[in-house]
Chain A
């Protein structure tokens, strides 16, 4: 298997699906390189391939009808993509930063998510909204959030939060082939991590958690960048004889309830790590699931590791204190072990 970065895995998934299905189109700001429209410098358009270089080379390969650079207008991007989806294309729209969902939320929340239902099941909306989440780059309060918990409250939206190159490729292809709107959250701290990724096209079904570590004493449930921190804690504590199981749900809507509950019932102790919110977040939803379905198996109170209830700070030391850290996760595991 080839070693790929998370970034390359996204690009590979997009390229393979565009080759596989001519209905797949990309819509977003700076997909080509920030010089949208015809220009004498057209041959240099691919210079950047998006602010993170994820879509680099795709315009050259597929042309302006398949890779559509847009003005800075999220409502137009998602509105256009939703319309294209419901009329037969399979658009992949990019919001760049998920923080900006508020600008286009009607298109997503009240339109795309509801089409299938409002048209009595006769419409489908095979739409993917890609965007970055996550703190850690001093991008300040408006470019560092992880609002996947907000998307997951909406019936009709599927929400993917992948943690590895392998997962992101398989889940992105699955998202493009899925007939419902999918919000695809890429953690910006992960673009350069590397991992084994099959060169051929493959899919990972939604709602199937991945156990990145198997263990018997504690279950850590985590998403995206937090999975890697949980793995680090698991590896460290394994040397002390504390056996940690790390469960990465990968998609939070649908959620692999069985995968979570089975792990919890085998360990009896739970730590949930969530970068989304201090209140009403993913952690709180999973904690409620466990408390209501697997209470009898619990040996200790559920512990949630979340950021504080504040905007993401700009100051690098404050930001690092804000993000759930390896130390906090480790302390949480020790806490449930002692209870």
Chain B
């Protein structure tokens, strides 16, 4: 049993697939106890401290701060101080092959013994000579640097008239001073190929220089010429304007020799790939469109992926109603005036109203499991509330809001929002939920449509509560009103059902004492 153990990216939630190491709390060579905090990891939703799973000595840091690894990816290596560095290198090498994690930069580790790089992968070096099929594994095993070393027995001068070899084999033999007469050819008629020559060098104990990796041109061209006369499909032209691509730089592979969408995207992607350091990009970008590039954070990526998926997969429809807030506002005033230490917001009251409405219309209180094509029905209303953060947003959940008092909901909401802003929410505090609220009223938005947060099937978008001139009981009156829009996934919630929910919600908001019933 090896005394070497790996510290791996933990799985903190069902949906967690990768984690970004933000900081190490211990250094290489430090010993630690189980449950001691050893590093900070950021996931798509939270950043949290990882506790040591066991006692040990951190021999090697594999993941550097900022590095993103899949769940189970190797963060560091733990072993007794007596284990030699070479064994640790071998352990890392074996892990980087098996778990598919990005190969860690072994050389970066400042090990005191300055051990040579892992010796194990070197054994299959001859295979590295394959000229025509360089698989990744063989390339990786080529000696890291240095020129080709020709073994003594092969040295000599090739008699071009008497050997049968490919032009490239002849050229290399001349460059290296090798007598091809001493090399066996495996080709048709005993012809010597480049590969035969390289195999001979390796099998006689020589060494091959690392092949230069394929390097594409520094950057794709960027024209500034007028491209209005270049034939292009309408979509391609629109896209080119949007992406800042000049049609002169595009190939024209569309019908009738037109630049098509794919051509524009190709140029755009080539630029993305070739984008060097931001400052250099600025040099190339003409006139006023200067920008800096920022990689997406884990949270940004999660938002992008989930909402893209929702918008693509869930057929959204929206229902909008105006709610009269007068009675709810007076209830709020009453509670805030009479219950000490409580400051209930309209939002808290709307959470409660939604929870009660969901109980009345349980077919909306569901999740849609796309994989199994089934609907999960919930007895309690777990209401997710979108909270804006500087770097994105998160939806902490008020569990079983239907069973909680308004004061309890208010208090819980306050606690969750504070934790959300501090980035310390636990996975079970933001994963799941049966219904979402998104409120942009404080920013003065009158009405908007929200995107459903899967696997939920509906979300309520709440606008600003404001005084409006309305007809009330046959007379013109000034009333506090709010416009709310319900987005529903039509796969599981039909229009009439959504409307029934809103009807119930309206009844509760306009007669809030019913919420207590």
Which residue numbers of A lie inside 8 Å of B, CB to CB? 205-208, 211, 214, 254, 256, 258-259, 261-263, 265-266, 268, 293-294, 296-300, 335, 337-339
Select A299's contact among B164, B166, B169, B215, beta carbons within 8 Å: B215
Closest to A337 in B: B217
Contact in complex: A338, B217 (CB < 8 Å): yes
Rounded to whole angstroms, the CA-CA distance of A335 and B250 in the bound complex is 11
Contact in complex: B167, A261 (CB < 8 Å): no
Contact in complex: A259, B167 (CB < 8 Å): yes
Chain A residues, Cβ within 8 Å of B216: 299-300, 339
A-B contact pairs, 23 of them (CB 8 A): A205-B189, A207-B188, A208-B191, A214-B167, A256-B166, A258-B191, A258-B194, A258-B195, A259-B166, A261-B131, A261-B132, A262-B166, A263-B167, A265-B132, A265-B194, A296-B214, A297-B214, A298-B214, A299-B215, A299-B216, A300-B216, A335-B251, A338-B221
Chain B residues, Cβ within 8 Å of A297: 134, 214
Contact in complex: A294, B132 (CB < 8 Å): yes
B403 adjacent to chain A (CB < 8 Å) = no
Rounded to whole angstroms, the CA-CA distance of A205 and B168 in the bound complex is 18
Q: Say how far B218's CB is from chain A's closest CB, in angstroms.
A: 11
Using A214-B167, A268-B214, A298-B214 as known contacts, say yes or no to A258 and B187 having CB atoms under 8 A apart.
yes
Closest to A292 in B: B133
Chain A residues, Cβ within 8 Å of B214: 268, 296-299
Chain B residues, Cβ within 8 Å of A258: 132, 166, 187, 191, 193-195
Q: Say how far A273's CB is from chain B's closest CB, in angstroms.
A: 19
Which residue numbers of B lie inside 8 Å of A, CB to CB? 131-134, 164, 166-169, 171, 187-189, 191, 193-195, 214-217, 220-221, 251
Closest to B133 in A: A293
Chain A residues, Cβ within 8 Å of B132: 258, 261-262, 265, 293-294
Chain A residues, Cβ within 8 Å of B191: 208, 258
Chain A residues, Cβ within 8 Å of B215: 299
Q: Say how far A250's CB is from chain B's closest CB, in angstroms.
A: 13
Rounded to whole angstroms, the CA-CA distance of A300 and B220 in the bound complex is 12
Q: Is the interface of B mostly helix, strand, loop or mixed?
A: loop
Extra A-B contacts (20), CB below 8 Å, given A262-B194, A338-B217, A338-B220: A205-B188, A207-B188, A207-B189, A208-B191, A254-B188, A258-B166, A258-B195, A261-B131, A262-B166, A262-B168, A265-B131, A266-B168, A293-B133, A294-B132, A294-B133, A296-B134, A297-B134, A298-B214, A299-B214, A338-B221
Chain A residues, Cβ within 8 Å of B221: 338
User: Top 9 closest A-B pairs, CB basis?
Assistant: A262-B168, A258-B193, A261-B132, A211-B167, A262-B194, A293-B132, A207-B188, A296-B134, A299-B216
Using A268-B214, A296-B134, A299-B214 as known contacts, say yes or no to A262 and B188 having CB atoms under 8 A apart.
no
Chain A residues, Cβ within 8 Å of B133: 293-294, 296
Chain A residues, Cβ within 8 Å of B189: 205, 207
Rounded to whole angstroms, the CA-CA distance of A214 and B172 in the bound complex is 13
Chain B residues, Cβ within 8 Å of A268: 214
Chain B residues, Cβ within 8 Å of A265: 131-132, 194
Chain B residues, Cβ within 8 Å of A337: 217
Q: Say how far A260's CB is from chain B's closest CB, in angstroms.
A: 10
Q: Say how far A218's CB is from chain B's closest CB, in angstroms.
A: 13
Rounded to whole angstroms, the CA-CA distance of A293 and B195 in the bound complex is 13
Rounded to whole angstroms, the CA-CA distance of A254 and B217 in the bound complex is 35
Rounded to whole angstroms, the CA-CA distance of A335 and B251 in the bound complex is 9
Closest to B192 in A: A258
Rounded to whole angstroms, the CA-CA distance of A299 and B171 in the bound complex is 22
Closest to A294 in B: B132
Closest to B167 in A: A211
Using A207-B188, A293-B132, A293-B133 as known contacts, say yes or no to A262 and B193 having CB atoms under 8 A apart.
yes
Rounded to whole angstroms, the CA-CA distance of A297 and B139 in the bound complex is 12
Chain A residues, Cβ within 8 Å of B193: 258, 262
Chain A residues, Cβ within 8 Å of B168: 262-263, 266
Chain B residues, Cβ within 8 Å of A205: 164, 188-189
Rounded to whole angstroms, the CA-CA distance of A256 and B167 in the bound complex is 12
Q: Say how far A294's CB is from chain B's closest CB, in angstroms.
A: 6
Q: Say how far B145's CB is from chain A's closest CB, in angstroms.
A: 20
Chain B residues, Cβ within 8 Å of A256: 166
Chain B residues, Cβ within 8 Å of A263: 167-168
Rounded to whole angstroms, the CA-CA distance of A339 and B221 in the bound complex is 9
Closest to B270 in A: A339
Q: Say how far A42's CB is from chain B's closest CB, in angstroms.
A: 45
Rounded to whole angstroms, the CA-CA distance of A299 and B214 in the bound complex is 6
Closest to A245 in B: B167
Chain A residues, Cβ within 8 Å of B164: 205
Chain B residues, Cβ within 8 Å of A294: 132-133
Chain A residues, Cβ within 8 Å of B171: 214
Closest to A214 in B: B167
Rounded to whole angstroms, the CA-CA distance of A300 and B214 in the bound complex is 10
Rounded to whole angstroms, the CA-CA distance of A169 and B277 in the bound complex is 58
Closest to B249 in A: A338
Q: Say how far A321's CB is from chain B's closest CB, in angstroms.
A: 14
Closest to A296 in B: B134
Chain B residues, Cβ within 8 Å of A254: 188
Select A339's contact among B169, B187, B188, B217, beta carbons within 8 Å: B217
Closest to A263 in B: B168
Rounded to whole angstroms, the CA-CA distance of A315 and B214 in the bound complex is 45
Using A214-B167, A254-B188, A296-B214 as known contacts, say yes or no to A262 and B131 having CB atoms under 8 A apart.
yes
Contact in complex: B167, A262 (CB < 8 Å): yes
Rounded to whole angstroms, the CA-CA distance of A294 and B214 in the bound complex is 12
Rounded to whole angstroms, the CA-CA distance of A337 and B251 in the bound complex is 14
Chain A residues, Cβ within 8 Å of B169: 262
Chain A residues, Cβ within 8 Å of B131: 261-262, 265
Q: Say how far A27's CB is from chain B's closest CB, in angstroms.
A: 30
Rounded to whole angstroms, the CA-CA distance of A207 and B195 in the bound complex is 17
Query: Which of A205, A214, A259, A263 gathers most chain B CB within 10 Å?
Result: A259
Chain A residues, Cβ within 8 Å of B195: 258
Rounded to whole angstroms, the CA-CA distance of A337 and B216 in the bound complex is 9
Q: Say how far A58's CB is from chain B's closest CB, in angstroms.
A: 31
